[in-house]
Amino acid sequence: MAEITFGILIISDTRSKDSRKDEAGPQLKRLVSDINTDTGKILKGKVIEEKIIPDKEEIIMEYLIKWSDEQKLNVILTSGGTGFSNTDVTPEATKKVINKEAPGIATAMLLSSLQVTPMAVLSRAVCGIRGETLIINLPGSPKALKECLVPIASAIPHAVDLISNKQENIEKVHASNGLTKSKNTNYSHNSPATTPLNLENVAMRLRESPYPMLSVDKALELIKTNIEPQETETVSIWNAHGRILAENVFSLCDLPPFRASIKDGYAVLAEDGKGRRRVLGALKAGNTAMSVSLEPGTCVRINTGAPIPDDATAVVQVEDTKLILKNSDNTEEKEIEILTVPTKGQDIRSIGCDLQKGELIMEAPVKLGAAEVGLLAACGYKEVKVYKVPSVGVLSTGDELEEPGNDLKPGHVYDSNTITLISLLRENGYDPKNLGTVKDDESSMVAAIKNALEKVDVLVTSGSVSMGDRDMLKPVLEHYFNAKIHFGRVNMKPGKPTTFATCIYNGKKKYFMCLPGNPVSATVTSILFVIPLLNEMHGDLSKPIIVKAKLDSSYKLDPRPEYARAILTWKNGTDLPLACSTGNQISSKLFSCKNANALLMLPGKTLTKSAMRPGEVVEAILLNPRTTV
């Protein structure tokens, strides 16, 4: 039996202030490491995390999510906060973070406790699964802990195996209990569901989001930590522009490979100094210097980039010479005068002075621009290894969406999100697939997502992620595709419902960036999250360009940090650009993005600051820096 990893979360206002009063934690540690019955040891557990926290719902959720999603613990045992007191909120916090309930475990604990005291009916314990972690609410009393944990202990290892899809262990348990397993049976919780979600039952919908609201920085961190790098491929340097180099590159030759002239002029012997020189002939780029030999008082006419004769020690530019004698038909120079004193090595590029053979010229990962592919060619490369570009598709959701150009039906709007997002992706070097639109219908959405996952690595959606009765994308992803939702709300305006999820489909990891349906929200969140996601996948380490700017008008602050569209203008004599608002910042008004070249990063409202005034300085993310004026 593999060792099971546990987290112990003690929830108590009193004990969080004075840990010496806690008896539940030590009791749980003893039970986890040494629960025995007549048949032997039941649990073989190791406590990885333990913490005492106050009875605060958001703090409880934070630790349950962190220990499940980041620490990947097998089991989290909470103790306390399951009663009827106003401060008892552990079950509420647990319900908001789990993906599936496990009511049988709670029932078994209740039945066991009822044999000891009828007051056990007042327990409100919740048990369930988040990702690959089993979460069990236990009472706060050290005595009641054992009464509840011992009866369910024998089921915990099997539950962990089921959650983790450890088939060999699962089959052993089923065999020992007289169960048979058909060839095609899959006990894994990762198997996609086929039964409908019954999303039409509006009365039973959630009235509050179960997802904690994360900061933008935390959301970006979760994206980064849950991405697998793309594979590599070898491409011609003609097709390498804009790609990300996947391995270090070393020069295949000396650059230049011969001594070359920096100027148009004359190769001379520096020790001859100034004076007249007999011109032996000419060398131009592409010639060899082997056939020419200099003697004192002679020189060779030479072009920029041409090879230098072996015995020449300087080049004198043509501007520092004077013609003395021509040939009979006036077509060739016979004698010139050097007007300056040349120095040894003057205007000569020595072999390998730019790059030597075997020298590192580019360190991966780096984005290959015009200069970089030119350097590859100069160093002798015909092809180069780069990261594959992730395939991405755009799918818009909503019953109200109408294709631009069609007659607009009552209650409908033209779909602007699809073309906006596709154009934005193209501006950033990607080749997105237009996956069209889909109605807010469960079966239609499942079919559209399946079709998308057959074609792309990353699916970008807009709409159906908020709290409306037709916003079904998150439950559909979890129920039908066993997707893990890494975050479902972000503390920002616009774009609070932005969601990032992953799943395994046909053996390959797939990524979902689910954006709000309002056009501005979709545009802003695609800049903040979609582009960084795609860049991170194939090694593009470029970051947004952030500058400081002065406000030209007042901004009323929102409780959430806001990304306001603005036009930055740079004027002579000013140290910072001036930020001019593009107008009404409501998230449905795409017009506010017109001509915007920056997103102002306005802070959230505080008790001491509710507005920004003209002249105050804020940070701003540049949009399309090449077009900013």
Q: How many CB atoms lie within 10 A of CB 439?
A: 15
Asked if 501 and 515 count as a contact pair (C-beta separation under 8 A), the reply is: no
What rounded mean pLDDT belongs to the chain?
A: 87
Q: 147 is written with which tokens? A: 């009464």
d(CA 494, CA 562): 7
Distances (CA, A) of 398 to 117, 202, 415, 470: 53, 17, 9, 9
What is the rounded distance in angstroms from the CA atom of residue 355 to the CA atom of residue 583?
53
Query: Can you name the residues that pair with 601 across neighbouring β-strands?
Result: 563, 619
Q: Which residues are within 8 A (CB) of 247 and not within 5 positions of it... i.e. 6 or more apart? A: 232, 364, 385
Q: How confident is the model at residue 40 (pLDDT cuts 50, 70, 90)?
A: very low
pLDDT of residue 202: 54
Beta carbons of 596 and 524 less than 8 angstroms apart: no
**Facing residues of 326 across strands?**
333
Angle at 140 between CA 138 and CA 144, to 5 degrees: 70
Which CA distances in Å does 507 have to 69, 457, 474?
Answer: 21, 12, 21
Mean pLDDT of all residues in 324-352: 93
pLDDT at residue 187 in the model = 33
Helix then strand then coil, % of the chain, to nearest 5: 30, 30, 45
What pLDDT is stored for residue 589 in this prediction?
45
Bridge partner residues of 568 (DSSP): 579
pLDDT of residue 113: 87
At 41 the pLDDT is 41
Question: Mean pLDDT, to the nearest integer, of 578-598?
Answer: 69
Cβ–Cβ < 8 Å for 270, 340: no
- pLDDT per residue over 483-529, tens digit each? 999 999 999 999 999 999 999 999 999 999 999 999 999 999 999 99
| Furthest C-alpha separation in the chain | 126
The amino acid at residue 310 is D
Asked if residue 456 has pLDDT above 70, the reply is: yes
Average pLDDT on 463-488 reads 84
Q: What is the pLDDT of residue 183?
A: 35
The pLDDT value given to residue 191? 47
Strand partners, 136: 77, 127
d(CA 262, CA 347): 5
6, exposed or middle or buried, with CB in 10 Å at 0-12, 13-18, 19+? buried
358-387 burial string, b = 16+ CB within 10 Å, else e?
A: eeebbebbbbbeeebbebbebbebeebbbb
Q: Using one digit for the tens of pLDDT, what is the confidence trace for 83-142?
A: 999 999 999 999 999 988 999 999 989 988 888 888 888 889 999 999 999 999 999 988
d(CA 90, CA 57): 7
Asked if residue 196 has pLDDT above 50, the reply is: yes
Calculate the CA dihedral of residues 114, 118, 124, 126 and round it to 10 degrees.
0
SS3 277: strand
Say what the pLDDT of residue 33 is.
74
pLDDT in tens, 528-557: 999 999 999 999 988 899 999 999 999 999
The torsion of the CA quartet 508, 509, 510, 513, rounded to 10 degrees, works out to -170
Q: CA distances (Å), 541 to each of 289, 393, 533, in order?
A: 45, 22, 11
Q: Which two tokens stand for residue 614?
A: 């003209």
Instruction: Mention every residue, 6+ apart, whose C-beta is less than 8 A from residue 191.
Output: 482
What pLDDT does residue 194 have?
57
Token pair in block for residue 543: 């970051």
Mean pLDDT of all residues in 410-415: 88
What pTM does this model have? 0.65
Q: Are strands 598-602 and 555-556 parallel, antiparallel or unpaired?
A: unpaired
Beta bridge partners of residue 490, listed in sequence order: 214
pLDDT one-digit tens code per residue, 343-392: 999 999 999 999 999 999 999 999 999 999 999 999 999 999 999 999 99
Q: What percentage of the chain reaches a pLDDT higher than 90?
A: 64
Alpha helices in 177-251, H assignment, sequence order: 216-225
E strand spans, 103-167:
127-130, 133-138
Question: Which pLDDT value is given to residue 172?
Answer: 44
Task: For the beta carbon of residue 280, count every other beta carbon within 10 angstroms.
Answer: 17
Long-range pairs for 293-296: beta carbons < 8 A, 24 or more residues apart: 294/267, 294/268, 294/269, 296/269, 296/271, 296/272
